[in-house]
Structure 1
Amino acid sequence: MMTALRIEDLTIRTADRVLVSGFSAAVGRGEPLTLLGESGSGKSLVAQAIMGTLPSSLIASGQIFLDGTDLLRLDGAARRTLWGRRIGLLPQEPWTALDPTMRAKGQLTEVHRYVHRRRDADSLAAAGLEEVGLADASEHYPFQMSGGMCQRLALAMAHAADTQVLLVDEPSKGLDGTLRADVVARLRREVAAGRLLLTITHDIALARSLGGTACVMLDGQAVETGPTARLLDAPTHAYTWSLIAADPSAWRPRAPWEPGPLVIEGTGLVKAFGRRRLFTDLSVRIGAGEIVAVVGPSGSGKTTLGNILVGTEPPDRGWVRRAPGAASVRFQKLYQDPPAAFVPHQTMGRALDHLVRRHGLDPERVEDLLARLKLLPGLRKQRPGELSGGELQRFALARVLLLNPVFLFADEATSRLDPVNQMEVAGLLREASERDGLAILFVTHDLGMAERFADRAIILH
């Protein structure tokens, strides 16, 4: 089998720090490559180096051969001619892949019309939306769709591009079990069609389902590589062991917890968008220190319920009562798509400094929390687009917890994190609920995680 994509001694650095060191791998037709590892380990940087979208502040050296051509030797204009034609990218955050001013069908139509010059672009786009279960959302804008729906639209666009190489960054995040199985089936069809597939994920089950070869990355280096089944069943590196052991299916269930005084209550809640009704006569009560999970498929109303409780969206009917005396700033939301919570051109350091000044926070408390979340001081100089999804989510969590909330709506709060960091962040949230009485509404697609992390669960259909 001829190797069509080969990476040799790839090193990515800033002016004073090495981010990826001596990475080498090969992707062949019919044999997908999956990169596993914690947030910030360099997985997404490898994909960006292949695509040619590394930030200008980063320097890449080594070689990346696509059918004999070294991509790192091409200038920017030549690299851009490959986008959407020979190399396609499904980014980690669907929010950044979609045009917020265009409806779903229009975005998919553009791919068929302008990339492939197809006259039947409209009908092809309609068929593509039907295939990913978005036929009813064809006229929706991205802000009107759930994170899982946006992910499926981005996947449909990547498939429509019909590229030789497909780079997929965290394709299963925010998806329920049924949709995740559908994503696996679609990616395997891409491989069967002769596409070169490089997948970045921290989803152990996804990696196992894709098969092929897996490479585990840590601190910018490949620490273990081999056939996926062998690597996951009998790992040789200690970090690979810890990655597998931290999977939510192995978490210790939360001990029985007696909730404190009522923090927030929604009664008789009704919400619909047009003719599509999400829930009717839904009631929920959450006491101090209690963790309530909301589980259900993409688009079932989980995020909408949280938005109603936190106060950013009104119900059609029903009412919400919050603990008296608690300032509105103490009812907080942790967003499903972290880029939506930050100013794109503001560094993380400036964002934190603004928070400290605005609310009179103790700078030492900030440093302590950042250390516990494994956010290195150098990351303060980065803008949101220069961080991994996991790093950005941890900054979002730090910013929320610094405000000493009494209620936190955590919308897929750990879906951007690898299993090790996922378990640590879940532990931090659990500690805040037990020590500080923080009431948490925890949205997840993973029923197993809900059963282990929360006190009880609400199931939406």
Structure 2
Amino acid sequence: MNIQANLNLSIAALSIDSLEGRIVSDVSLAIARGRPLTLLGESGSGKSLVAQAIMGNLPPGLRTTGRVIFKGTDLFAETPAQRRRHWGRSICLLPQEPWLALDPTMRVLPQVAEIHRFVKDKDATRSDALAKENLAGVSLASTEALYPFQMSGGMGQRAAIAMAHAADSELLIADEPTKGLDTALRDSVTARLKQEAEAGRLLLTITHDVAVARALGGMIGVMLDGRLVEYAPAEKLLQAPEHAYTKALLASEPASWGRRASSAFGEVILAGRGLAKRYANRILFSDLDIAVAAGDIVSIFGPSGCGKTTVGNILLGLTPPDAGVVERKAGVSPLRFQKLYQDPPAAFASHQTIRKGLTDLVRLHAKEWTAVKGLLDRLRLPEILLDRLPGHLSGGELQRFALLRALLLNPAFLFADEATSRLDPVSQKEVISFLQEIVRETGLAVLLVTHDRDIAEKLSARVINLENKGPHETAPKCQH
């Protein structure tokens, strides 16, 4: 690795404007060798827009002012063609959604290998060998022949990280690199990013996970409503935050929640008896019994790729079990069995505004628009977002719109697949509290998939643990 001794990046008075007004205001930051920068903040705070401004791939209609100096050059003074020449070479972006980073028509190994072949000019044999090393580095050595649609969300995220490492760029921008990963994989990926910074690469990480910011060290900036509200060395900011939002962010980590799970259940809405599933020679689970009743929140916990999502898909009839039966409450319309998908962009039509999609849904199912407005308020979704395309929203904003859309259909059962993994701690706690309110008000039955043990144990009276490659039910630890 040959990284310049004086390599750094500085951002001065960066602002981003849309037709509706200013959305990022006067952000000034710096990244130096060996001192990574992490941006923390809620969904829609402008973190990802800062990264896209550096890259030069902001959504159409957005305009930047200010300066971004990289290797002595103001990137904002370059032409679009000049900006693109940095991509994959001197600047690499790991995007927020693995769905958008991977080619669905290619197996994962050749996707990584073509970076070595066509960007780094290696021969085919060497490119394949290096790609295998990249995949092994993120615990995907056994998935080289899979297509993206055959992988879990966490596995897809790790594949995208392997591609970013393959680029070996001078500046690495990692946008939510650990979302959807279990604790062990999160820590592994974070350690890998820290190694990149220690080796001299410039690292900008965007995350809502305070644990990631804590592990990376360096500098931390906190964004709220498009403004940088706090900017300090990690050790100072985490131990003695000054801004009220930073204090709330640190206090909202799931480990600090009080346990609010209810043990009062109604009639069983959906159940699986003796369920089993395997892929090729790998057994995901067997002899699994699970039942979700009205007013019940059941959590499935376990590492990425252990079969959590598969259990929910089997219950919804989206995937057949190898053994066992699924039973639904008689007389409940299939439309009242809803799913929140792990990758929000995959659940929205990319060419259609959010308003158009919701308007069509309201008309098709004879609902009232007042129901939409009520849910917008409860989910803290500004109406201005309705007229944007899905690609112009953050993953967290899309996930909240997906929850709004599902709730419009008055579901009896909701399969929430990593429903909060794209949310910062404050928004996560708000959405979980809102979901609990809906459960109490309507008797909704919820199956929650999560890789976060704290969320599973604080939220649910019953937890199905697939952590050890076999299902067993655990009771949440009592909080003293």
Task: Identify the TM-score tier after normalising by the shorter chain.
Answer: over 0.9
User: Are 2:67 and 1:63 aligned?
Assistant: yes
User: Are 2:213 and 1:204 aligned?
Assistant: no
Q: 1:368 maps to what in 2?
A: 374
Equivalent positions of 1:260-275 (< 5 A) are 260-275=266-281
Q: 1:329 maps to what in 2?
A: 335
Deviation at 1:342, TM superposition (A): 0.4
Deviation at 1:122, TM superposition (A): 1.0
Deviation at 1:187, TM superposition (A): 0.3
Equivalent positions of 1:52-451 (< 5 A) are 52-119=56-123, 120-451=126-457
Which amino acid in structure 2 is aligned with residue 148 of structure 1?
Answer: G
C-alpha separation in 1, matches of 2:326 and 2:386? 37
Which amino acid in structure 2 is aligned with residue 250 of structure 1?
Answer: S
State the SS of the aligned residue for 2:262: coil
State the SS of the aligned residue for 1:10: strand
Which amino acid in structure 1 is aligned with residue 273 of structure 2?
Answer: T
TM-score by length of 2: 0.95
Deviation at 1:272, TM superposition (A): 1.2
Deviation at 1:255, TM superposition (A): 4.2
State the SS of the aligned residue for 2:278: strand
Runs (4+) off by over 4 Å: none
String of CA shifts for 1:237-290, please: whole Å, max 9, x gaps. 111011111111111211432110010000111111111221112110111111
C-alpha separation in 1, matches of 2:262 and 2:338? 25
Q: Confirm or deny: 8 A CA contact 1:52 1:79 kept in the other structure.
A: yes
Deviation at 1:310, TM superposition (A): 1.4
String of CA shifts for 1:105-146, please: whole Å, max 9, x gaps. 011111110110112101111222222211211110001000
Question: CA separation of 1:270/1:104 partners in 2, compared to 1, >3 Å: closer, same or farther?
Answer: same
Q: Confirm or deny: 8 A CA contact 1:336 1:411 kept in the other structure.
A: yes
C-alpha separation in 2, matches of 1:408 and 1:16? 35
C-alpha separation in 1, matches of 2:355 and 2:46? 21
Q: 1:10 maps to what in 2?
A: 14
Picking from 22, 47, 50, the partner of 2:54 is: 50
C-alpha separation in 2, matches of 1:372 and 1:438? 17
Deviation at 1:313, TM superposition (A): 1.2
C-alpha separation in 1, matches of 2:236 and 2:299? 35
Q: Confirm or deny: 8 A CA contact 1:294 1:442 kept in the other structure.
A: yes
Deviation at 1:56, TM superposition (A): 1.6
User: Are 2:24 and 1:20 aligned?
Assistant: yes
String of CA shifts for 1:174-204, please: whole Å, max 9, x gaps. 1111101101110011101211000001101
TM-score by length of 1: 0.99
C-alpha separation in 2, matches of 1:288 and 1:131? 43
Q: Confirm or deny: 8 A CA contact 1:3 1:26 kept in the other structure.
A: no
String of CA shifts for 1:158-179, please: whole Å, max 9, x gaps. 0010000000011111111110
Identity among equivalent pairs (%): 56
Q: Confirm or deny: 8 A CA contact 1:14 1:59 kept in the other structure.
A: yes
C-alpha separation in 2, matches of 1:374 and 1:364? 15
String of CA shifts for 1:430-451, please: whole Å, max 9, x gaps. 1111111111110111111111
String of CA shifts for 1:65-93, please: whole Å, max 9, x gaps. 00111111111111111000000011111
Which amino acid in structure 2 is aligned with residue 436 of structure 1?
Answer: T
Question: CA separation of 1:189/1:232 partners in 2, compared to 1, >3 Å: closer, same or farther?
Answer: same
C-alpha separation in 2, matches of 1:440 and 1:78? 50
Which amino acid in structure 1 is aligned with residue 42 of structure 2?
Answer: E
Q: Confirm or deny: 8 A CA contact 2:376 2:404 kept in the other structure.
A: yes
Which amino acid in structure 1 is aligned with residue 22 of structure 2?
Answer: V
Count matched residues. 461
C-alpha separation in 1, matches of 2:450 and 2:159? 20
Pick which of 39-48 and 279-288 moved more: 279-288
Structure 1, unaligned stretches of length 5 or more?
none
State the SS of the aligned residue for 1:405: coil
C-alpha separation in 2, matches of 1:325 and 1:169? 44
Which amino acid in structure 2 is aligned with residue 239 of structure 1?
Answer: Y
Q: Confirm or deny: 8 A CA contact 1:3 1:27 kept in the other structure.
A: no
C-alpha separation in 2, matches of 1:102 and 1:208? 36
Which amino acid in structure 1 is aligned with residue 29 of structure 2?
Answer: A
C-alpha separation in 2, matches of 1:356 and 1:369? 13
Deviation at 1:348, TM superposition (A): 0.4
C-alpha separation in 2, matches of 1:99 and 1:310? 27
State the SS of the aligned residue for 2:332: coil
State the SS of the aligned residue for 1:101: coil
C-alpha separation in 1, matches of 2:174 and 2:382? 27
C-alpha separation in 1, matches of 2:274 and 2:329? 18
C-alpha separation in 1, matches of 2:132 and 2:46? 37
- What RMSD, in angstroms, separates the aligned Cα atoms of the two structures? 1.0
Deviation at 1:3, TM superposition (A): 5.9
